[in-house]
Amino acid sequence: MRPDNMSFFWIAPNGDFSDASANVVDVQYNGSTITIYYRQQKTGTSSGADHMAELYTVLDCNTLSKQSSDILSEDDVMIAWDSEYANANVTAQAPEQSSTQDFTEAPPLQADIKAAVDMIFRECDGDTRWLGGQLVVRSAKVKHSARLTPNQSSSGQNCSGFVFGPRHAVETLVAAINRIAALRRTHPNALALKNTEMLVTISNWSLGEFQPVFSDILPQSTGIVDARPPVVTVIIPTANKQKVATIKSYFSKHIPASTLVYFDIVPVQSDVSEQPYNGAGSGGALNRIRNAVMHVAQSPELMELYHERNAQAIYVAAIESFIQTKDIDRPADFGVVALCNVLQNSYTGCASRGVTIDPVFVEAARQYGFDMGNEDYGAVTVGTVLASRFPSIDKANWHEVVAGVSRYDLLTEAIESLSLP
C-alpha cells in the first residue's frame, strides 16, 4: 500500500487513536500475516536501524463491507485487534449482543471500540460509499508475533490494535468511531433519552404541486345502476402493517357502511430514499400515489379486475415520514398524509405533528451519505441509528421513548383531520 495514499492509526489501550501515518513506510498483508514497516523515532542517544517492523499473525478475519476480496488492495481498509487485549474484555458484553442491553456500563476499551465499529457497519448495512467508494473493509483478530528489528523499542507494543487504508476512508471511519465514544458519555442508555423531546408543528408546510391526471388511466364507473351496493376501491402503496391499518381505519369511518370497499395493497417505491428530509417527504408521498396508479394501469390483470368492480370512486392514500432540518429550531420527525381521488383528479394532504430529536442522531445518520447526490435523500434513517445504539428502541417508533407518544397515533390524528377529496 503506497504511503502517500495511506493513513495508519494505532489504537491505544485507553481507546485513543494515534495517527502514525507520517512514520509508517509500508504495510504488507498476505492473508496470514500483517507486517508494519515504520521509521524509528530516534532520540539523541539512540542508535541502530532507521526502520523497524512489527509482524502480526492473523488469527481470524471477516469482512464488514458488502464488497469482499481475497486480496488487500490500496483502496481497502483493515481494522486489527490484538488478541492479547481481547482477554481483558470478556467480562463485558457489547450492546449489540443483547436485544435489551444498552450502554449502561462502560466495557473495557477494546470491546468498546469493536462495538462501535460493529454498530457503524450495521447502521450502513455494509455500504461503504460514505467512506469514499465501494471498498472492502476487514476486521481481523491478530497476535503480535515478532519485532523484526531487534533491540529497539516497538511502536506497536502496548497497543490494542490498529487501522490502515486510504486516507479519506480511515480518517472518516476514525472520526465516526470517536463520535460514538463521545455520544456514550452523554447518552449512556435509552433511559437518558426518555421524554427528553417534545411535540411540535411545522410552519409554512405545503404538500407541493401535483397534477393527478389519472381519470383517463383507470376505469371509470359505467354509471349503470344495478342491485349491487356502491363500490369503492382504496389503493394503499405500502406493505407497512401499521400504515395499512391506519388507512383502513380512516376509510371505514368516512365511507358509508352500505358501500363495498376493496383495499388493494400495491407496494411501490417512493423514489426518494430511506430517510427523506424536508421537501422529500411530500415528494415521496406523491410519488407513491403516482407509482401505484401507474402500476395498476400497467397490469392487465388488475385493469380487468377494476373494470369488473365498476367502482364509483378510486382513492390512493399514502403516508411518508420525514425529518425536517430547515427553518426549524431543532430537527423533528413529521409524517405526510396524502389522499388522491383518482377519478375526480383531486387530492389533499397534511403534515402530522412532529417529534423533535437530538441533532447528534441526525448527524450520525447523515454521515452515511445520500442517494442520487441529493442531501434531502438520506441513505440511513435516524431510527436505524437509534435502534442500533440503543437496542431496546424500536427503529420505526422511537417517538414513544423520546416523547412518550406513538408515531402511529400522530399519523392517525393527521389523517383523521382530512376530508375525502
Do 23 and 148 have their domain in common? yes
CA angle 24, 117, 23 (to 5 degrees): 10
Nearest alpha carbon to residue 183 among 252, 268, 123? 123
Count of structural domains, the chain? 2
Pairing of strands 77-82, 137-147: parallel
- Is there a domain that residue 421 lies in? no
Residue 78, strand partner residues: 138, 164
Count of all residues that appear for the chain in the document: 421
Do 223 and 118 have their domain in common? no
- Is there a domain that residue 194 lies in? no
- Is there a domain that residue 192 lies in? no
Cα–Cα distance between 155 and 153 in angstroms, integer? Answer: 7
Do 315 and 180 have their domain in common? no
Per-residue pLDDT of the chain (421 residues; tens, 9 = 90+): 555 789 999 998 888 899 999 889 899 998 899 999 988 665 555 455 567 888 999 999 999 999 988 777 888 999 999 988 765 543 333 333 343 445 444 444 778 888 899 999 999 999 999 999 999 999 999 999 877 654 444 454 568 899 999 999 999 999 999 999 889 888 989 999 999 999 999 988 888 877 665 656 776 665 555 556 899 999 999 999 999 999 999 999 999 999 999 999 999 999 999 999 999 999 999 999 999 999 999 999 999 999 999 999 999 999 999 999 999 999 999 999 999 999 988 999 999 999 999 999 999 999 999 999 999 999 999 999 999 999 999 999 999 999 999 999 999 999 999 999 9
Domain boundary among 186, 217, 246: 186
- CA dist 166 → 5, 34, 134, 369, 421 (Å): 6, 17, 12, 18, 55
Do 94 and 211 have their domain in common? no
Do 145 and 258 have their domain in common? no
Do 373 and 234 have their domain in common? yes
Do 175 and 42 have their domain in common? yes
Which structural domain, as residue segments, surrounds residue 408? 199-416
Query: One-letter amino acid identity for 218?
Result: L
Domain boundary among 142, 159, 186: 186
Do 50 and 172 have their domain in common? yes
